[in-house]
Amino acid sequence: MATDWVTESSDSLLHFADLILSSVPVRHHRAALLDKVQDQMRQYARLEAEAEQAALALSEVKDEAVSSISEGSEVNIEELAERVKCLTDRYMQDKLAAMGDLNAHDKCLRLARMVDAATPAAAGADEELVVTGMQTATRDPWSKQEIRRPYRNRRCDHVYDHESLERLLGEKACSIKCPYMGCTNKRPLTWDDMMEDPVAKRAC
């Protein structure tokens, strides 16, 4: 059914949004991607609503046609098709009026909650992120060993191994900065700036 395809696609879109929220560290890049995802989700919401209302209209017209045939009356297929279209449009208007707008659709609301839940940490940052471009390293800059559990710095996009971070950031007296040559991020590293990076993990 068409609604099954729409449901599967919108579920995939939710998964994609989750991947963006967990893997895209630069705020303006992430916001632009999420805007596109939300626009697409509204389109899926409209498709799903239209399919549901068309099914209702078709069922109603089919019952009328069966009744007419049973009574021996002639049935005009073109008129029936036009009636289905008109009923679908009317039911769709009623549906949108009841919802308020497409943002009130269940999947749109779920997506909005996901985005809202991930926003406070970024919105509370006291200064702009330092952008150097996405870089995927395979060796930890401190241990020089293969990265097994990659963590990405939200401020400069550089990747480190969790074990090294745990060791270095555990030394409270130290003020560790990003060790990558040429990095413009001069802030000391903190756990608040780190996020586990599943994309980098697949690349390592």
Give pLDDT tens digits for 128-144: 444 444 445 678 888 98
Percent of the chain scored above 90 by pLDDT?
Answer: 4
Beta strand 150-153 pairing with 159-161: antiparallel
Residue 157, sorted as left (phi over 0), alpha (psi -120 to 50) or beta, turns out to be left
In terms of domains, do 8 and 102 share one? yes
Give me 166's structure tokens: 């745990």
Residue 139: phi, psi to the nearest 5?
Answer: -120, 140
Average pLDDT for 77-90:
86
Cα 43 to Cα 36: distance, rounded to the nearest angstrom: 11
Going by their DSSP bridges, the two strands 159-161 and 194-196 should be labelled as unpaired
Segment 11-38 mean pLDDT: 79
DSSP calls for 90-112? HHHHHHHHHHSSGGGSHHHHHHH
Residues 102 and 163 in one domain: no
- To 5 degrees, how large is the angle CA 120–CA 121–CA 127? 110
Alpha-helical (H) ranges within the chain are: 2-23, 27-70, 77-99, 106-123, 162-169, 198-203
Domain count, the chain: 2
Partnered with residue 151 across adjacent β-strands are 160, 196
Residue 10: domain span: 2-123
102 and 24 both lie in a single domain: yes
Task: Decide if 176 is inside a domain.
Answer: yes
Residue 132 forms part of a structural domain: no
Most confident of 8-22, 80-94, 104-118: 80-94
pLDDT at 95: 78
Examine residue 136 and state whether it is found in any structural domain, yes or no: no
- In this predicted structure, the answer to whether residue 172 has a pLDDT above a threshold of 80 is no
- List, in order, residues 6 or more apart from 129 with CB less than 8 Å away: 25, 26, 27, 154, 155, 156
| Domain membership flag for residue 106 | yes
Question: In terms of domains, do 8 and 109 share one?
Answer: yes
Nearest residue to 79 via CA among 57, 59, 61: 61
Q: What is the pLDDT of residue 12?
A: 84
For residue 157, being part of any structural domain is answered with: yes
Average pLDDT over the chain, rounded to an integer: 78
Residues 196 and 117 in one domain: no
How much is the pTM?
Answer: 0.46
Query: Is residue 10 domain-shared with residue 109, that is, in the same domain?
Result: yes
pLDDT at 2: 52
Distance of alpha carbon 96 from alpha carbon 119, whole angstroms: 28
**What single string gives the DSSP state of each residue in 33-68?**
HHHHHHHHHHHHHHHHHHHHHHHHHHHHHHHHHHHH
Residue 134 lies in a domain: no
Structure token digits, residue 48: 């799903």
Based on the domain organization, do 7 and 79 belong to the same domain? yes
Q: Look at residue 139 and tell me if it is in a domain.
A: no
38 and 104 together in one domain: yes
Give yes or no for residue 161 having a pLDDT over 90.
Answer: yes
- Do 87 and 34 have their domain in common? yes
Question: Does residue 116 share a domain with residue 73?
Answer: yes
Same domain for 83 and 9?
yes
